């Protein structure tokens, strides 16, 4: 019986709440709008961040293989000291040693790159792209696909052949309506023969992920090398091998090659594609927190508006409260009436804000190409949070209403 009575009280209070909100349409609409803007900002932000997170994970893991990078420094960690600046460069011999002495690795590829370059083909000029010197195995390490032509060979690496394989972006810039294979292009003062072109890569970074061209690393060292250009080795794992095992294998070989003693730290850095994902999460996490704090201001403002409206409502309905108490309504009944009214008000604002925020996220995604995603968990959380805002800011007015003396309240109505 008590459960049925409780349900009846809630239904009755909900009915009263919506009747009051309807009677004060403009005032209610302004509160709903204020809460809705806050929730919309939160939902739009969450939708974009969820979409970005999923897209980043997809792009990092799209090759269906983990890539470990051997570098001079860990560029994902700032703060280089004097000793780190004097580390030895990573060399092509390091790549060969890993290939022969690390049973956990399937492919290793030495590469070197530096400042961007513009490619020229007759009167056509490409945008600034990364010209990367590498080994043929880079094709497998990066899981690339050819649109046409071929990758350069070990023999072409050995003879410093001036051949080039174009990424999708320079291929479109230089040969929008022509087959590029066999054509001549110029990089700085040297002429190269195009022997291949890669297919378009759909990544989070758009054209940035396609703004590259590959040449043999020996050719790069002979024609484009600058003192501070980056050198590294990319390594892919054999099936079934975990990242830590591969890193231990690489560390063992490199420490032997560098003649490091047991008490000496590594003078090289190892990173993986998983580490890149962790870095992005470390960056986006605080950004999400700051944006959430900023957008929550609108919710707090909306909550203050709810408190103000409820206080006015208590004053306006003093007589009604007195009559309800006179006919048997308890203090708890009055308290619940106003709390439900406040929660319903902000709950409507939450529903409005969710629709607005998700719609805005879809619009931003269609206009900018940024991915977005919807999560039932966050939608439910937004509804509960918006209702909680109303209940929290409605506690004081509801408590004030429940404490009214019925005799004084009814005499107030008569005046």
Of 185, 135, 184, 132, residue with least CA distance to 156: 135
Give 265-276 pLDDT, tens digit per residue.
888 989 886 666
For 351, residues 6+ apart whose C-beta sits below 8 A from its C-beta are: 383
Contact 163, 136 (CB under 8 A): no
At 246 the pLDDT is 93
In contact, 307 and 396? CB cutoff 8 Å: yes
User: What pLDDT is stored for residue 207 in this prediction?
Assistant: 44
Residue 155: the pLDDT is 95
Residue 77: the pLDDT is 56
Q: Are 325 and 412 in contact (CB under 8 A)?
A: no
The C-alpha atoms of residue 321 and residue 337 are separated, in whole angstroms, by 10
User: Is 33 within 8 Å of 264 (Cβ atoms)?
Assistant: no
Exposure string for 304-342, b = 16+ CB within 10 A, e = fewer: ebbbebbeebbeebbebbbebbeeebeeeebbbbbbbbb
CA distances from 395 to 29, 119, 400 (A): 21, 68, 8
Confidence (pLDDT) at 407: 66
* pLDDT score at 42: 78
**Cα(256)–Cα(249) distance, rounded to whole angstroms?**
11
* Element of type H or E holding 67: strand 67-71
Residue 275 token pair: 């580490």
Is residue 189 exposed (0-12), middle (13-18) or buried (19+ Cβ within 10 Å)?
Answer: exposed
Token readout for 294 is: 């900023």
Q: Which of 313, 350, 330 is nearest to 35 (CA)?
A: 350
Structure confidence at residue 278 (pLDDT): 65
* DSSP β-bridge partners for residue 231: 112
* Tokens standing for residue 360: 């805005």
| Per-residue pLDDT in tens (0 to 9) along the chain, 415 residues | 455 555 566 677 677 777 777 777 787 788 788 788 878 877 887 777 777 767 666 665 554 567 899 998 875 555 555 666 678 889 999 999 999 999 999 999 999 998 899 999 988 999 999 999 999 999 888 888 899 999 999 999 999 999 999 999 999 999 988 999 999 999 999 999 999 999 987 554 444 467 899 999 999 999 999 888 889 999 999 988 998 999 999 999 999 999 999 898 888 989 886 666 666 666 666 766 676 676 677 677 777 877 887 787 777 777 777 777 777 777 787 887 788 888 888 888 888 888 888 888 888 777 776 677 777 887 887 888 888 888 888 888 878 777 777 766 666 544 4
DSSP 327: T
pLDDT number for residue 204: 43
DSSP three-state, residue 230? strand
* pLDDT given for residue 206 in this prediction: 43
The model's pTM = 0.61
- Helix, strand, or coil (residue 186): strand
For 229, residues 6+ apart whose C-beta sits below 8 A from its C-beta are 112, 113, 114, 115
């Amino acid at each position: 019986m008590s459960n049925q009575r409780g349900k009846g009280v809630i239904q009755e209070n909900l009915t009263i709440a919506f009747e009051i909100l309807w009677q004060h349409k403009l005032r209610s609409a302004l509160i709903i709008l204020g809460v809705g803007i806050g929730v919309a900002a939160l939902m739009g932000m969450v939708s974009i961040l969820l979409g970005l997170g999923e897209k980043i994970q997809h792009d990092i893991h799209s090759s269906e293989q983990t890539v470990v990078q051997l570098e001079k420094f860990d560029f994902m960690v700032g703060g280089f000291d004097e000793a780190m600046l004097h580390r030895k460069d990573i060399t092509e011999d390091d790549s060969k040693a890993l290939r022969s002495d690390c049973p956990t690795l399937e492919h290793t590829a030495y590469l070197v790159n530096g400042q961007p370059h513009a490619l020229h083909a007759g009167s056509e000029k490409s945008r600034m792209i990364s010209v990367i010197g590498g080994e043929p195995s880079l094709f497998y390490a990066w899981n690339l696909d050819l649109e046409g032509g071929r990758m350069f060979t070990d023999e072409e690496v050995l003879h410093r052949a001036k051949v080039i394989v174009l990424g999708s972006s320079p291929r479109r810039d230089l040969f929008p309506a022509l087959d590029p294979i066999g054509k001549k292009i110029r990089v700085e003062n040297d002429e190269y023969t195009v022997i291949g072109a890669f297919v378009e890569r759909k990544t989070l970074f758009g054209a940035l992920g396609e703004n590259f061209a590959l040449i043999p690393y020996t050719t790069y060292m002979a024609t484009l090398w600058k003192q501070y250009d980056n050198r590294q080795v990319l390594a892919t794992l054999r099936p079934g091998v975990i990242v830590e095992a591969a890193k231990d294998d690489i560390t063992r070989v490199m420490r032997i090659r560098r003649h490091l003693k047991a008490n000496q730290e590594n003078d090289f850095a190892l990173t993986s594609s998983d580490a890149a994902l962790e870095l992005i999460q470390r960056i986006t996490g605080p950004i999400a927190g700051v944006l959430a704090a900023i957008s929550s201001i609108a919710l707090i403002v909306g909550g203050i508006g709810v408190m103000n409206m409820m206080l006015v409502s208590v004053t306006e309905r003093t007589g009604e409260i007195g009559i309800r108490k006179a006919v048997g309504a308890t203090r708890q009944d009055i308290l619940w009436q106003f709390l439900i009214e406040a929660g319903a008000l902000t709950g409507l604002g939450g529903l409005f804000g969710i629709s607005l925020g998700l719609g805005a996220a879809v619009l931003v995604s269609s206009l900018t190409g940024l991915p977005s995603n919807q999560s039932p968990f966050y939608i439910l959380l937004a509804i509960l949070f918006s209702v909680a805002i109303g209940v929290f800011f409605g506690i004081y007015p509801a408590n004030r209403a429940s404490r009214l003396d019925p005799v004084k309240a009814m005499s107030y109505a008569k005046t």
